[in-house]
Amino acid sequence: MNTDLFLIGVDGGGSGTRVVLGDAHGRELALAASGPSGLGLGIERAWQAILAGCTEAFRQAGVAPQWERCVLGCGLAGFNNPDWLAAFHAQAPKLAGLAVEHDAYTTLLGAHGGAHGVIVALGTGSVAAAADGVGEYRIASGFGFPSGDEASGAWLGLRIVVYAQQALDGRAPLDELAQALLERVGAQDRDGLIVWLCNANQTAYASLAPIVIAHASHPFAARLLKEAGEEIGKMITALDASGELPVALCGGLGQPLRDYVPQHLQARLRAPLGDSAHGAWQLAQQEAARLGLNLAG
């Protein structure tokens, strides 16, 4: 019985990384966070963020990290790109085990405890998934920034920044919404905004999403939020046209966007049982069992 094993769940997205550290007895030891580790931002950067988060979790637990004793379960944005995934595995440190899945899968594990259901994960990016309770799952949306990921933080930011552009040249009033956007991006004029736009990635655009939520009564923001709710509804319907599965809205924008989901779907919404990081921790437990590492009961 390998009681010296550590099981680590990693939720890696475009805005940040969350880590759950546990032992071979299934006891949670620490929670930690670090910078973005979505694979689209770079493989080296992803591993730096993951290892930083794990190191912080070990520090909180009062244990020195020994990677060869660790089994990592990772739910990562960008999993579907085979080149990124291969490079991620190639750059991994020496571990006792490593399982990597789409962050939609780990979100499902966390939200419904492995049971059947639908999730719509709404963070920097977005993706929806449904599980039938026996390990099969299907995905909708999640095609990535900038063309996909409807109702995500980056999707909202990409659209709300247009209002700041219009305000600077007189197509829209320079009101509180426009001023809040310009202050957030650090621009005072057209040239300043263009500089920001030239350097902005999905994380930068997602940083504008809280401004949309904070100005929900503004006509421009209200239209965006209504459209976001409609897009969430499309994802849910695409994955469960029968209308029978429970639905959990997950991620940082899950709760803020809940009220914008179409009314006919509201009764099916449930609070997630756990988050994607804890779902990734379940993935680590599954990987340890698959490898025959004989976890303690």
The pLDDT value recorded for residue 1 is 42
CATH architecture classification, 6-113+274-290: 2-Layer Sandwich (3.30)
Q: What is the pLDDT of residues 29-70, one digit of tens each?
A: 999 999 988 888 899 999 999 999 999 999 999 999 889 999
The architecture in CATH of the region 153-270 reads: 2-Layer Sandwich (3.30)
pTM of the model: 0.77
CA angle, corner 84, sides to 82 and 89, nearest 5? 95
Q: How far, in Å, CA of 178 to CA of 164, rounded? A: 5
Interacting residues of 84 by C-beta distance below 8 A, sequence separation 6+: 39, 40, 43, 78
How big is the chain, counted in residues? 297
CA–CA dist 67, 75 (Å, integer): 18
Question: Residue 293, exposed/middle/buried by CB under 10 A (0-12, 13-18, 19+)?
Answer: middle
Type of residue numbered 147: S
Q: In the chain, list all ranges with CATH 3.30.420.40.
A: 6-113+274-290, 153-270
Give the DSSP letter of residue 274. Answer: S
Output the 3-class SS for 203-231. HHHHCCHHHHHHCCCCHHHHHHHHHHHHH
Distance, in Å, from the CA atom of 106 to the CA atom of 129, rounded to the nearest integer, reads 10
Averaged over successive runs of 10 residues, the pLDDT of the chain (297 residues) comes to 80 88 91 91 93 95 92 89 93 94 87 87 91 71 89 97 96 96 95 96 94 98 98 94 89 94 95 90 90 65
The Cα–Cα gap between 18 and 7 comes to 14
Q: Cis omega (within 30 of 0) on the bond before 93?
A: no
